[in-house]
């Protein structure tokens, strides 16, 4: 929670720089009325979500354990391809 609080303060500081003034508007969320560490932390606790992006569930390769060929074709099933993060061994950032 402390890291998120510091991150919000840093984001606000960066956003306030003159170089960004033509590209930014009013802070909508959490809003400028949220200022104290206590209020920012309460906001973070109310709004935290656990988000994840499953990946690597369809091994791609040429070996017998691979379910997807390098061209994204599912082995043994004609006309079916996998074209999502399940063929990625790790999530990109």
* pLDDT tens string 3-14: 999 999 999 999
How confident is the model over 42-51, as pLDDT tens digits? 999 999 887 7
How many domains, the chain? 2
One domain, residues 9 and 40: yes
Catalytic option among 29, 46, 53, 93: 53
One domain, residues 78 and 61: yes
Distances from the Cα of 85 to the Cαs of 7, 49, 93, in angstroms? 28, 20, 12
pLDDT average, residue stretch 59-80? 95
Residue 52: pLDDT above 90?
A: no
pTM value? 0.55
Structural domain boundaries, residue 39: 2-47
Verify whether residue 53 is a known catalytic residue. Answer: yes
One domain, residues 62 and 89: yes
* Structure tokens belonging to residue 90: 């790790």
Cβ(68)–Cβ(82) under 8 Å? yes
**CA 93 to CA 85: how far, in whole Å?**
12
One domain, residues 37 and 69: no
How confident is the model over 18-40, as pLDDT tens digits? 999 899 989 999 999 999 999 99
- Residue-by-residue DSSP string for 12-29: HHHHTSGGGTTT----TT
* Structure tokens belonging to residue 93: 């950032």
* Structure tokens belonging to residue 67: 């379910």
One domain, residues 23 and 39: yes
One domain, residues 42 and 76: no
Residue 79: pLDDT above 80?
A: yes
């Amino acid at each position: 929670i402390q890291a998120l609080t510091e991150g919000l303060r840093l984001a606000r500081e960066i956003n306030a720089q003159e170089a960004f003034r033509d590209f930014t508007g009013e802070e909508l969320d959490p809003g400028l009325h949220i200022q104290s560490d206590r209020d920012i932390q309460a906001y973070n606790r109310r709004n935290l979500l656990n988000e994840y992006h499953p990946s690597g569930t369809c091994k791609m390769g040429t070996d017998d354990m691979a379910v997807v060929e390098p061209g994204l074709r599912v082995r043994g099933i004609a006309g079916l391809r996998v074209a999502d993060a399940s063929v990625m061994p790790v999530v990109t950032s």
